């Protein structure tokens, strides 16, 4: 025993053993194509990873119907004055935070529309707070405190069994919210307890259990497709152009001009003038140029059509 060390008290009970769970999800199985990964050349390691990644888009394609159902639920919730929540832990939770954070600058969506909840809180964005994902009560308490009837709650869990996520989904369901689970385990038991189950079959990871790889890529693709489609359905895209973007830097201010030129066929000079007359409001300038109406008429038409460009153009065409 080293000097100064204190001998343990024989009467002091040992701390309780921390719980252990062996997960049987596909993401925890060994990938037979990468068993010699540490013996491969750098180029071969990258080839194995790349070939595995090619499976992900096809796996996502197989669940497009379920994603479409989720999009329709989200649109109905948002149009009804409700919100969309993401609940996740680890990589899954961080991807939810990323998706929610990108919607306001890309589509100028109200910040309260999409709310991301990460097990372990903000600190977990930068460092692992591993035990937080085992806290089903923590997920339930957080959901109960902020989810309302009519909201849509999307759980993100690579294995499909993360206690924090399942706790949140259970509490959300009790509140009267619609629930969705996105995971990389098509056979997850929790599929039976949600309104929509999106089980993406990405198979075993190149590095066993490292769900930041294929499972994470699949979740990123699902979330990108889901939230983008929601914004399209809500009229925040005209053709394939971002028309609700926030011009917070020189590049984005230039993009506004490019969007007007592309959408209307007008010159850059005319597009700049229209944007100036519309006080920098891209939608108003677009409706004015496409319809030929004065700026104030375009603004009024947008107000009457719930800020929908197609609707405003239809009003001005009558």
Q: Decide the pairing of beta strands 152-156 and 241-242.
A: unpaired
Distant-in-sequence, close-in-space partners of 105: CB < 8 Å, separation ≥ 6: 245, 246, 248
Torsion of CA 134, 140, 141, 142, to 10 degrees: 90
Structure tokens at 211: 């769900």
Q: How far is C-alpha 197 from the chain's CA centre?
A: 15
Closest by alpha carbon to 29, among 159, 157, 133? 159
What's the farthest any 2 CA atoms get from each other in the chain? 92
- State the catalytic residues: 102, 133
Burial of residue 270, with CB atoms counted within 10 A of its CB: 0-12 exposed, 13-18 middle, 19 or more buried: middle
């Amino acid at each position: 025993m080293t000097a100064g060390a204190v001998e343990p008290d024989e009467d002091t009970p040992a701390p309780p053993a921390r719980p252990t769970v062996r997960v049987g999800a596909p993401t925890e199985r060994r990938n037979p194509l990468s068993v010699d990964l540490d013996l491969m050349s750098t180029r071969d390691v990258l080839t194995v990873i790349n070939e595995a990644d090619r499976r992900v888009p096809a796996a996502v394609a197989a669940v497009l119907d379920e994603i479409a159902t989720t999009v329709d639920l989200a649109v109905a919730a948002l149009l009804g004055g409700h919100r969309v929540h993401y609940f996740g832990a680890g990589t899954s939770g961080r991807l939810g935070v990323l998706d929610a954070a990108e919607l306001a600058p890309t589509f100028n969506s109200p910040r309260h529309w999409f709310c991301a909840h990460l097990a372990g809180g903000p600190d977990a964005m930068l460092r692992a707070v591993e035990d937080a994902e085992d806290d089903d009560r923590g997920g339930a308490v957080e959901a109960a405190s902020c989810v309302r009837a009519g909201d849509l709650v999307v759980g993100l869990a690579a294995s499909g069994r993360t206690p924090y996520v399942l706790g949140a989904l259970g509490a959300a369901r009790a509140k009267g919210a619609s629930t969705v689970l996105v995971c990389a385990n098509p056979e997850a038991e929790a599929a039976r307890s949600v309104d929509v189950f999106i089980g993406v079959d990405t198979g075993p990871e190149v590095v066993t259990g490292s769900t930041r790889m294929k499972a994470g890529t699949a979740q990123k693709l699902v979330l990108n497709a889901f939230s983008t489609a929601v914004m399209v359905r809500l009229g925040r895209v005209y053709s394939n152009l971002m028309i609700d973007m926030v011009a917070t830097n020189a590049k984005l201010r230039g993009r506004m001009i490019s969007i007007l030129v592309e959408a209307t066929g007008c010159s850059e000079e005319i597009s700049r003038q229209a944007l100036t007359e519309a006080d920098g409001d891209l939608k108003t300038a677009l409706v004015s140029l496409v319809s030929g109406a004065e700026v104030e008429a375009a603004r009024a038409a947008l107000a009457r059509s719930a800020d929908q460009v197609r609707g405003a153009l239809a009003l001005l065409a009558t």
